[in-house]
Chains A and B, each alone.
Chain A
Amino acid sequence: MYELRCESLEKSFGSFALQALDLAIQPGEFFSLLGPSGCGKTTVLRLLGGFEQPGRGRIMLGERDITRLPPHKRNVHTVFQRYALFPHLNVFENVAFSLRLKKLPRAEIARRVEETMSLTEIGQLAQRRINQLSGGQAQRVALARALVDQPAVLLLDEPFSALDPSLRVRVREELRAICKKVGATFILVTHDQEEALQLSDRLAVMRDGRCLQVGTPKMIYEDPADAFVASFIGPVNEIRGELAETQPGEWSVNSPAGTFRVKKNGTPLPREVSMLLRPEKMRLLRQKSSAQENLIEGEILDLTYLGSRTEYTIRSRDSIFKVSEAEMERQKKRLLNPRDRVFLSWKSEDAILLPQTGPAR
């Protein structure tokens, strides 16, 4: 198994440009490229698959430079977005396609195809025609077809977008299990942050042809590199203010909404900062409590009951806050209603501090 490296990979067409991308993806890693449409994630995938040639830079698989290799000479296979299964072949022959090209002995082809089909749980579909498959089955066939040849790297282009939402979560779990079982490197392209968080060992967040941050899901969620990453990976509330050192080592943010204590890590910050708060890191209180350090008073505008959690929309002066509470006693749930006055509170270390960028939200 080999490490996959992109070295200052560049590609431009029309007004789009992928800007010097450097990535090192570990063997056997489940890696995601996450970003909105037009961010360049699919371009990276097509460069890795050999369907596009980069303007500059190299792609290394282990010690081998594969930048200029055509798709059929790379040990890299793709699961296409709409699966691209061959309609003139049945399921078995679709899966066997790459092995037949290698002219392997019949018995070995049969053995490996059956092995892979049982891995993706489509053994009973072997003789089916492609137009007789459901979306979920087609996806499993596409996966088996790409895996049967034991590629070093498997590329997945939004593989869940054609599936029912109810099916997605289960299939994701299975996909991750398969990745760990076969030991190949999986690279997933997606615009769905939940998908990227659930599946990836590490992920890269991209925007406008640029890679903004690479890290584990936890790192990116808790310590986003900028406001875009923070809000793309999950909802945030923003409070803008001025950073001030009240005592040596003690910091606070002064804003129109009040003064809030914050924990500052080593990274240097300008005076004007954005304080970002995740909805689930905020608590709702009926009464002011002296034990809480950061408090904002507001009024509940709306609430949405979602079973495992309840989401509140709260207005405080001119700002709107989103709060999501999971652990709540029944009593408290019953007590909170629209138009109630409440207090928002959070722990100082849960606030994310970033330099201000763009207009306030």
Chain B
Amino acid sequence: MKVEVKRLVLRLRDWPPSAWIFFAWLVCLSLLPFLIIFAMSFAVRSPGGDIAWTFTLANYERAFHLVYLRVLTKTVFLSAGATLTCLLVGFPVAYYLARASHAQRQIGLILLFIPFWTNFILRIYGIVSIFGNHGLLNQLLMRWGLVDTPVEILYTRAGVYLGLVYNYLPFLVVPLFSALEKFDLSLREAAMDLGANRWQTFTRVLLPNVKEGVAVGSLFVFIPMMGEYVIPDLLGGAKEVFLGKVMVEQFFTMHDWPFGSALASILSLGLVLAVWLRMSLERTRSQTTSS
């Protein structure tokens, strides 16, 4: 370990300026803030709401209480479900774009991102005006006589779900698109030629060859979904608890920064652990198949 550190320090001298900029960015905006939060998670909230720097594990003890574990599981399931929906919707979109002509592709990608040129909060209020109890959708449904009372979508779990899928879909389409674009179409023909029907071609040839893109894209949306605060707050209402919401409450309503930090640390470390596990799993698998 000591030798490795020494070697790293020695190599620092050879780093190009671009590496320094990246490293500085990493330390100042990612590592340092996390370390502050992490340190804070072992502190104590003083009665006045300030931070008292006394070492304690009480915050973690409290965080693993059933109430918070329930919030965590709920958040994981909702995020995973929304990620899966994004995949199901995003895959055909990405497949179409990857196979389209250059012009179609440009237009398609621009259209996909046009909503994102509008402010995020405004887009969320857009959703409210469509799916709210007096929104466009319910008005139409009632006029057509399909329902008598407005369908409650907003301020339910469905509302959060809808908001997550809507907001994160493009960010999954892009990595899927770049994976599918690299996929050699002659492999599809080869599979069909050798006796695979459409479904078998999809599961046995297409999917295994783009699974890296699927995994990266899913993590790309799943991780920020887990920490999402604004969407569940604006579309989920008071009833729907979501990990991000609980954390923000701890910081700004309860003024319990140490406990909020503990929750944030658990989320971050859990995600890092999950990603690391996946990567090392992938590494060992590729080693065993190649030897």
Which stretch of B44-52, B63-71, B97-105, B194-202 is in the interface?
Answer: B194-202
Shortest distance from the beta carbon of B133 to any chain A beta carbon, whole Å:
49
Shortest distance from the beta carbon of A94 to any chain B beta carbon, whole Å:
9
Q: For residues 182 through 213 of chain B, which have their beta carbon under 8 Å from a beta carbon of chain A?
A: 184, 186-187, 189-197, 200, 204-205, 208-209
Q: Does A313 contact B (CB under 8 A)?
A: no
B192 touches A86 (CB 8 A): no
Q: Chain B contacts of A50 at CB under 8 A?
A: 192-193
Which stretch of A19-27, A95-103, A163-171, A261-269 is in the interface?
Answer: A95-103
A174 to B290, CA, bound (A): 29
A101 to B191, CA, bound (A): 10
Contact of B197 among A72, A82, A88, A132 (CB under 8 A): A72
Contact of A129 among B187, B204, B290 (CB under 8 A): B290
Do A87 and B209 form a contact, CB below 8 Å, given A80-B186, A129-B290? yes
Q: Does B289 contact A (CB under 8 A)?
A: yes
Q: Does A145 contact B (CB under 8 A)?
A: yes
Do A90 and B194 form a contact, CB below 8 Å, given A80-B189, A82-B186, A84-B186? no
Q: Chain A contacts of B205 at CB under 8 A?
A: 86, 88
Where chain B touches its partner, the secondary structure class is helix
Contact of A80 among B190, B204, B291 (CB under 8 A): B190
B290 touches A101 (CB 8 A): no
Q: Chain A contacts of B208 at CB under 8 A?
A: 86, 88-89
A49 to B290, CA, bound (A): 33
Q: Does A71 contact B (CB under 8 A)?
A: yes
In the complex formed, the residue of A with least CB distance to B197 is A72
Most buried by B among A50, A88, A145: A88
B209 touches A88 (CB 8 A): yes
Q: For residues 91 through 141 of chain A, which have their beta carbon under 8 Å from a beta carbon of chain B?
A: 97-98, 101-102, 127, 129, 132
Contact of B195 among A49, A86, A102, A127 (CB under 8 A): A102
Q: Does A51 contact B (CB under 8 A)?
A: yes
Shortest distance from the beta carbon of B159 to any chain A beta carbon, whole Å:
40
A84 touches B190 (CB 8 A): yes
Q: How many A-B Cβ pairs are below 8 Å?
A: 68
A49 touches B190 (CB 8 A): no
A49 to B195, CA, bound (A): 11
Q: Chain A contacts of B289 at CB under 8 A?
A: 90, 129
Q: Does A149 contact B (CB under 8 A)?
A: yes
A70 to B192, CA, bound (A): 8
A341 to B191, CA, bound (A): 62
A77 touches B194 (CB 8 A): yes
A78 to B191, CA, bound (A): 10
B194 touches A98 (CB 8 A): yes
A84 to B194, CA, bound (A): 12
In the complex formed, the residue of A with least CB distance to B209 is A88
Q: Chain B contacts of A76 at CB under 8 A?
A: 193
Contact of B187 among A84, A102, A146 (CB under 8 A): A84
A77 touches B196 (CB 8 A): no
In the complex formed, the residue of A with least CB distance to B207 is A88
Shortest distance from the beta carbon of A127 to any chain B beta carbon, whole Å:
8
A77 to B187, CA, bound (A): 13
B197 touches A51 (CB 8 A): no
In the complex formed, the residue of B with least CB distance to A131 is B290
B193 touches A149 (CB 8 A): no
A101 touches B186 (CB 8 A): no
Most buried by A among B187, B195, B196, B208: B195
A49 touches B209 (CB 8 A): no
Q: Chain B contacts of A97 at CB under 8 A?
A: 191, 194, 196, 204
Contact of B189 among A84, A87, A98 (CB under 8 A): A84
In the complex formed, the residue of B with least CB distance to A101 is B195
A78 to B291, CA, bound (A): 30
Q: Chain B contacts of A90 at CB under 8 A?
A: 289
A329 to B84, CA, bound (A): 80
Do A86 and B193 form a contact, CB below 8 Å, given A101-B200, A129-B290? no
A84 touches B195 (CB 8 A): no
Measuring CB to CB, which residues of chain A are less than 8 angstroms from any residue of chain B? 49-51, 70-72, 76-78, 80, 82, 84-90, 97-98, 101-102, 127, 129, 132, 145-146, 149
24 interchain pairs (CB within 8 A)?
Answer: A51-B193, A70-B192, A71-B193, A72-B193, A72-B196, A77-B193, A78-B189, A78-B190, A80-B190, A84-B184, A84-B186, A84-B187, A84-B189, A86-B190, A88-B205, A88-B209, A89-B208, A90-B289, A97-B194, A97-B196, A101-B194, A102-B195, A146-B193, A149-B194
Beyond the given A88-B208, A102-B195, A146-B193, please list 12 additional residue pairs across the A-B interface where CB-CB is below 8 A.
A49-B193, A50-B192, A50-B193, A51-B192, A78-B193, A80-B189, A84-B187, A84-B190, A86-B205, A88-B205, A98-B194, A145-B194
